[in-house]
Amino acid sequence: MKNITRIIIALLILAMTLPMALACAETAPQEEETTAPAITEAPSATDAPVETTAEETLFVPSNIPENLRFDGTTINILHRTDSNRNEFFVEDQNGESVNDAVFRKNANVQEQFGVTLEFYGIPGAYEQQKDFVNTCINSLQAGADAYDLFCGYSMTGATLAVEGAVQDMTQYPILEFDKPWWPESLISKATINDGIYFASGDIAPSFLYMMYLIVFNKDLFTDFHKLQANDLYSLVYDGKWTIDRLIEYTQGVYLDQDGDNSSSEADRYGLVITTVPFDSFYTASDLYTVELDKDGAFVMSDDLFSQKTVDLLDKVCNLLHTSGDAYIKTDTAHFKTGNSLFIIQAASITANHLTDVDFTYGVLPMPKYSDDQENYRTALSFPYTMYMISASAPDAEAAAATIELLAYQSYVNVTPAIFEESMKLRYADQSDDAFMFDIIRENVVIDIGRLLTTQLDNMSFSIFRNAVNNNTAGSYMSAQKVYQKNFAKKLETITKKLDDLK
């Protein structure tokens, strides 16, 4: 793990609390609501950006040279327009903290480097991935008018890397991927041919919004279990917050409140969950879908059909389908009524649905598989943005520097603003929930298999998700041979394409 103060990450993580695309079909991830700008220019450097000063001691400093300049350079940025927040730019300051932080971020980059940021927006949601990728590839022939940066839906990064349309960013020393504004697993789990071809983190607020976590009703927890929230926090701090503990605390919570002798919306439950977050159990158990073999080739991870995965499925299926204490819904409205103890959802739920509830809630990371698992693991819902440097970037050095400075400026400006606006907490507050977010953010996992989902025909996530959804833990292993064969063929094709690019 990076050596960052818990506070810093705590807040970094709180940043994540914003809208997320909820439900998805069993075999296709869904998108967020889409509203976005088209072609526009970032605020002028003369708009007097406001620097963060009072809390700067909380942040790890950037090593970007103060005298580094690219005067007169225009950085052309192609971005997806399906993010339902102003993730990339805003036209002007309006007094809203997140809006103004995005404005400052871009203005500060332009002022420090002497560049102009121009943003070009096109649809790029899950369903529009192919069109977005084709636009990127076609732009490679544009010469001096080519885009410098691509900012696409999470899966487009791996697709563009396989197509040879983006550059290995490790060749630019100014990009410091060991800094806290980049997730650790970007280096350890998302490299291709020893290179990093796409990146996300604080640079993309959607990355923070899409982190899966558990929200719990503190009042119901105390009333039902006669315990305090601190008892749950202590389990997390001690490394003992496991799936067995989650199951233990959901047991017996169900109450047939409307007296109709059947599970219904009016009843009380221990856990509420939608279909898409099923994935988070797998990642939280330190399991992967695709890994690299000793020769650097992509292979299906042994985790997918391991005994550990079968045991995990047994636990999850029993909890969700047999116990009677869980409720599978298509939305998050039930938790807001106060009739659920736990809900598993992306962090966006706190800003989208819990701003006016009449109970006190807290947050927890997804549980470990067992006590002896070293770290908590955080999965991401798919609708977040990956940043890439175009293979034909007219000024790749300036583009790389711009990515790094955008990431740093987001880290010191945008993340704290989202934290304060969404969570109603000061960036420097050392509350238990802030530390919970610290743990969640620090342990985000970027599983390369999930990013290769498009090339894998959705197999990477759907194998486990469908088994949970269909309650087929008992027959799970029977599908191993078919999946292994199909998985292997797809990965061989991907590996060959990558080898051809060498």
0.85 exceeded by the pTM? Answer: yes
Q: What is the pLDDT of residue 269?
A: 97
Q: What is the pLDDT of residue 142?
A: 85
Instruction: Give per-residue pLDDT as tens, 56-86.
Output: 447 899 999 999 999 999 999 999 998 767 7
Q: What is the pLDDT of residue 242?
A: 98
In this prediction, residues 369-396 reach a mean pLDDT of: 96
Highest average pLDDT, of 11-15, 152-156, 289-293, comes from: 152-156
Q: Which domains does the chain have, with CATH numbers?
A: 15-209+382-429 (3.40.190.10), 212-379+447-502 (3.40.190.10)
Strands 326-328 and 269-273: parallel
Instruction: Give per-residue pLDDT as tens, 228-259.
Output: 999 999 999 999 999 999 999 999 999 999 88
**Is residue 26 predicted with pLDDT exceeding 50?**
no
**Is residue 334 predicted with pLDDT exceeding 60?**
yes
Q: What is the pLDDT of residue 294?
A: 82
CB-CB contact of 73 with 398 (8 Å): yes
pLDDT band at 12 (very low <50, low <70, confident <90, very high): very low
**Is residue 33 predicted with pLDDT exceeding 50?**
no
Highest average pLDDT, of 16-30, 266-280, 324-338, comes from: 266-280
pLDDT band at 332 (very low <50, low <70, confident <90, very high): confident
Q: What is the pLDDT of residue 84?
A: 64
In this predicted structure, which of 67-76, 150-159, 261-270 has the lowest mean pLDDT?
261-270
Instruction: Give per-residue pLDDT as tens, 391-416.
Output: 999 999 999 999 999 999 999 999 88
**Is residue 336 predicted with pLDDT exceeding 80?**
yes
- Cβ within 8 Å of residue 25, ≥6 positions away: none
**Is residue 35 predicted with pLDDT exceeding 50?**
no
| DSSP secondary structure of 149-217 | EEEEETTHHHHHHHTT-B--GGG-TT--TTSTTS-THHHHTS-BTTB---B-STT-HHHHHTBEEEEEE
In this prediction, residues 425-442 reach a mean pLDDT of: 74
Tracing tokens 């997730």 back to the chain, one arrives at: 183
pLDDT band at 49 (very low <50, low <70, confident <90, very high): very low
**Is residue 271 predicted with pLDDT exceeding 60?**
yes
Distance CA 448, CA 455 (A): 12
Of residues 153 and 145, which shows the higher confidence score? Answer: 153
Sign (positive or negative) of CA dihedral 158, 409, 108, 209: positive
Query: Crossing angle, helix 432-442 and helix 6-14, to 10 degrees?
Result: 80
In this prediction, residues 339-358 reach a mean pLDDT of: 88
Instruction: Give per-residue pLDDT as tens, 184-228.
Output: 888 888 888 889 999 999 999 999 889 999 999 999 999 999 999
Highest average pLDDT, of 7-11, 34-38, 419-423, 455-459, comes from: 455-459
In this prediction, residues 97-108 reach a mean pLDDT of: 94
Q: What is the pLDDT of residue 110?
A: 98
Q: What is the pLDDT of residue 429?
A: 54
Average pLDDT, the chain: 86
Structure token digits, residue 274: 């939608």
**How many CB atoms lie under 10 A from the CB of residue 308?**
14
Of residues 157 and 12, which shows the higher confidence score? Answer: 157
Distance CA 457, CA 379 (A): 20
CB-CB contact of 378 with 284 (8 Å): yes
**Is residue 329 predicted with pLDDT exceeding 60?**
yes
In this prediction, residues 423-447 reach a mean pLDDT of: 76
pLDDT band at 481 (very low <50, low <70, confident <90, very high): very high
